[in-house]
Amino acid sequence: MRITFNYNCGSQSNLSVNMAKKLLYYSSKTLIFILILFMNINYLEAQTASVNKAEIQKDFDYLMQNISSHYAYLEEKKVDLECIKEKYGNQIEQLNNRSDLILFYEYILNEFYDSHISLNTNLYESYRLSAPIHVEIKGEKIFVKNVWQSQIENLDEDIIGAEVLTFNEIEFNSKIDDFPSYCNDKTSNEVRNWIANKLIAGKYNEQRILGLKLKDGKKVQFDLDKLKLKKEESLLSTTIDNKIGIIRINNSLGNNQLISEFDNGLDQLFDCKGIIIDLRNTNNGGNTYVAKGIMSRFIDTELPYQKHSYIESYDGQAKLVRSWLEMVSPRGKQYSKPIVVLVGRWTGSMGEGMAVGFDGMNRAEIVGTEMKRLAGSDFDFKFDYQNFGYKLILQRLYHIDGTPREKYIPEHYVSQTTTEKDEILEKGMAMILDMIK
């Protein structure tokens, strides 16, 4: 088994540091031209590079073996592996280039309707990993349940509760039925919900125009690609409101420098009567080192913050469950006053781990909605014959009370009903003010 631990969840591709430095010398127009040219060359290579069918077969068999032996959620998914082996195995002879090959593996992983497993490369035709809105199926209809309100700059229409009628003028339910998967159960509400949100995320090379019926009955065409997300220049931001310190993590839980930045921010807020830690912009997850570095400033004794579990078996012997509690040790000057942690649909992976950790240690009140629900801990696998690989989940993760992390719901749940105000922040602020009375 050839794996490496993934220390930075969610990223798919980056230019090298040296290349980025060189590009800074060019004007903005030249830079745009070069980037487009760079992408087009890669795309052309993917379209024209030949593939070796025998090597693909070996890599395919290796992927199936790893999923069968190591994927921690295989039994819950109830996906027919024999169906995958047959359906996709029969497609190998029709693969003509690297582009075909990448989509081939991407669609195999999509069969498991698990947003925490993916290839570490993509194409124009690939589906994005996420979208700034989240939809939910109720009966035969699909509704907008959550909007990434804390990160969107220009949301003029309140679309919470809107029914999704069409996607690019095609009836939405038919888009779900036509989604390119063969071996999962599309009659399952869980599968359909996952596919619906994958469709909303959309492919990189297609527009995303949603036909919506708003709560007042008005029908609108909503262009998802016109939404602008805030571009954060710092790893975190701090503010003070009514003597309450607010620390907002800017999708940086995978950056080890965040620990010192957080220390500096917390030290400046040390005289505040309480602290709000906003984890609603941690969409790309992060690593345990950073998370524990942050949590360690709020406890005065070693405490468990999450449970790990995985199945091990050697030499054809019995499968045994191996599990343990991961601990956090106190570090530095301790902040002992009340804490509220804000979470939402874009609190992902290690952000979710921090939320259940603060809750399990009884060190903070957790306020918000369901989180991103990324199950388990992901590890990187490499193909033998390709220069890209994929992520699989080998370990299950739990709240220390035994609740699977992906099923955790904040005790102080806030149902998002409007985008005209920040309901989660308002609830968090009211709670912490009440706590310090």
pLDDT score at 11:
36
The rounded distance, in Å, linking the Cα atoms of 385 and 58 is 8
Of all residues in the chain, the percent with pLDDT exceeding 70 is: 89
Report the run of H or E that residue 102 belongs to, with start and end. helix 98-110
φ/ψ (deg, to 5) at 16: -65, 155
The C-alpha atoms of residue 10 and residue 380 are separated, in whole angstroms, by 11
Residue 362 lies in a domain: yes
- The model's pLDDT over 202-234, given as tens digits with 9 standing for 90+, comes to 999 999 999 999 999 999 999 999 999 988 889
Instruction: Label residue 40 exposed, middle or buried (CB < 10 Å: 0-12, 13-18, 19+).
Output: exposed
**Triad 99, 102, 104: Cα angle to 5°:** 105
Asked whether residue 115 is domain-assigned, the answer is no
Q: What is the pLDDT of residues 127-169, one digit of tens each?
A: 998 899 999 999 889 999 999 999 999 888 899 999 999 999 9
Does 365 score more than 90 pLDDT?
Answer: yes
Confidence of residue 48 (pLDDT cuts 50, 70, 90): low
The CA-to-CA distance between both ends of the chain, in Å, stands at 56
From the number of C-beta atoms within 10 Å of its C-beta (0-12, 13-18, 19+), residue 196 rates as buried
Contact assessment for residue 328 and residue 358, using Cβ atoms and an 8 Å cutoff: no
Q: Is residue 288 part of a domain?
A: yes
Instruction: Give residue 431's domain range.
Output: 236-435
CATH code, 249 = 3.90.226.10
pLDDT of residue 42: 47
pLDDT at 31 over 70: no
Which has the closest alpha carbon to 342: 315, 360, 369?
A: 369
CA 369 to chain centroid: 15
Is the model's pLDDT at 28 over the cut of 60? no
Residue 19, pLDDT score: 41
280 inside domain: yes
pLDDT band at 26 (very low <50, low <70, confident <90, very high): very low
**Exposure string over 204-227, b if 16+ CB within 10 A, otherwise e:** eeeebbbbbbbbeeeeeebebeeb
Q: What is the pLDDT of residue 437?
A: 81
| 207 assigned to some structural domain | no
Dihedral angle of Cα 157, 281, 110, 186, to the nearest 10 degrees: -50
The percentage of residues in the chain with a pLDDT greater than 90, rounded to a whole number, is: 77
Distance from C-alpha of 87 to C-alpha of 85, rounded to nearest angstrom: 6
Closest CA to 345 of 365, 366, 374: 374
Residue 163 lies in a domain: no
| Confidence category of residue 312, pLDDT binned at 50, 70, 90 | confident
User: Of 5-19, 307-321, 418-432, which range is least confident?
Assistant: 5-19
State which amino acid sits at residue 390: Y
Nearest to 411 by CA among 352, 359, 371: 359
pTM (2 decimals)? Answer: 0.85
Distance CA 395, CA 6 (A): 12
The arithmetic mean of pLDDT across residues 335-346, rounded, is: 97
pLDDT greater at residue 379 or residue 27: 379
Has residue 397 been placed in a domain?
A: yes
Angle between helices 53-70 and 81-89 (to 10 degrees): 170
The upper half-sphere exposure of residue 258, i.e. CA atoms within 13 Å in the direction of its Cβ, equals: 26
pLDDT of residue 436: 87
Tokens of 4: 């490496």
Q: Is residue 202 part of a domain?
A: no
Residue 272 has pLDDT above 60, yes or no: yes
d(CA 47, CA 434): 60
Query: In the predicted model, is pLDDT for residue 29 greater than 70?
Result: no
Q: Do residues 131 and 201 touch, judged by C-beta distance below 8 A?
A: yes
User: What is the chain's mean pLDDT, rounded?
Assistant: 88
pLDDT tens digits along 273-289:
999 999 999 999 899 99
Q: Where are the alpha helices (DSSP H) in 304-422?
A: 350-360
Mean pLDDT in residue range 258-277 = 96
pLDDT tens digit string along 92-130? 999 999 999 999 999 999 999 999 999 999 899 999 988
**60 alpha-carbon distance from chain centroid:** 25
| C-beta separation of 59 from 386 below 8 A | yes
Q: Would you say residue 22 has pLDDT above 50?
A: no
pLDDT band at 44 (very low <50, low <70, confident <90, very high): very low
Count of domains observed in the chain = 1
DSSP per-residue string spanning 181-246: -SSS-TTSHHHHHHHHHHHHH-BTTS--EEEEE-TTS-EEEEEGGG--B----SSEEEEEETTEEE
Statement: residue 392 has pLDDT above 80:
yes
